[in-house]
Amino acid sequence: MFRFAAYVLLICVALFLFVLGAIVVNRGPGEVGSEASLAIAILAIVILILILIVRFLLCLARAKDRLREERRLYREAHGTALELRKEADALLERLRSDKFELGRCSRICDILVRKKLPKDCIRLPFEVTRYPDPCIYNQFFLMANNQPVTWDNPNVEIFLGGNVQDTYNLAVDTTYQVRVGIENASPFFDALGTQVQVNMLTFGIGQPTPTPIHSFSVDVPAATAFPGVQETFDWTTPTTAGHYCIQVLIQHATDINPANNEGWNNTNVRDVATGTQFVMAIPIANPLQFDVGRKHAERIGKEFSAIVIELDSYELNTANLEEMTPTELFEPAEPVWGAEVTPGALQILPGARGQDLEFKVTVPADAAGKSAVFNISARADDRSIGGVTIRLNVQ
């Protein structure tokens, strides 16, 4: 349009030039009067203005051409982006399809988020989720999603002379080999330079003070399933007698889900005889902190945390992960043999230790050669604070 208007004005300029030339030709050099001079001057000014307008319209036309080209390039780029987005969505949908059902079940960290939650939950754009997800079997994350847990962490193993040990029965001043496995629930992106800190805690529930024993960095490729990328290191137990718990903390700068980055290994294996009663005291503390914003008078007597104790016989069978469905993997199990923990609920000030829990069970007379698992977990104000797993092998 601008170019057409410029061409019209150029025709007008040509006509004005023709008229101006005719005036000059029809009158000799000495015959040009004042009226003719005024007309020539007006025509010259009009011609100059028209030339400037023509130049401006041509500039607008070129600018419009550039804008049109940029819009075309943008549409092409946008179309390419949409195609890539469709391909990414198709790939994600393919990963969610039945073809990949069993493979995804082998990833303990990912199974709850990817398979246990409803299918119609919000789907984040691919560009938002393109980050790694280094993880470990995390009891706190599972309990927050109302799933049964074991405190015999499948990603943590302790060896002595090649034999697997439990954390409760470790000898003092003895060097053990600890093996930690780190997984990556992201199907696309490697977790390079994942930082891992391994700590020792006092055996029990809610022990608040960790003691560092080892740290390392590891690269975890995308879609690394159980048992994960493993790191083995030596650990010499303290010289003073005690019972211990292993805590593993994971950190990564671009981790998309930091909620699955802490795992505990807190187990006790005992041999028992049929017809006997097994009793064990379990220390418990409240690791939560005071709300320092409240006045001291308001804190006293009002900030006791309501501790609720949970007991079950859930067991994670890592040998059959490939064959198990998510429902089977997280199938709850009621405590066997009439086991009980007392008290079942108590109140403890944040940062304080409470009375020991008492776990008690009578081994049936017909249980020879069998074993049973008991998971004792605690919640403080509906937040998981820890737990222990007891395995009884009947002789």
Q: What residue segments make up the domains of the chain, in order of their start?
A: 2-81, 134-394
Residue closest to 238 by CA, chosen among 177, 178, 172, 167? 172
The dihedrals phi and psi of 127, each to the nearest 5 degrees, come to -70, -20
| Cα-based angle 229, 235, 238 (whole degrees, multiple of 5) | 150
Region 262-282 average pLDDT: 94
**Residue whose entry in the numeric block shows the structure tokens 């390039």:** 73
> Per-residue confidence at 119, pLDDT binned at 50, 70, 90?
very low
User: Could you write out the DSSP letters of every residue in 37-63?
Assistant: HHHHHHHHHHHHHHHHHHHHHHHHHHH
Instruction: Give CA–CA dist 310/149, Å, rounded.
Output: 11
pLDDT of residue 2: 59
Tell me how many helices (H) and strands (E) the chain has: 8, 17
Instruction: Give CA–CA dist 189/126, Å, rounded.
Output: 12
The whole model's pTM is what?
Answer: 0.68
Beta strands 345-348 and 340-342: pairing type?
Answer: unpaired
The 10s digit of each residue's pLDDT in 32-91 is 556 666 666 776 777 777 777 777 777 777 777 777 787 777 777 767 766 766 776 666
Instruction: Please say whether the structural domain 134-394 has been given the CATH code 2.60.40.2310.
Output: yes
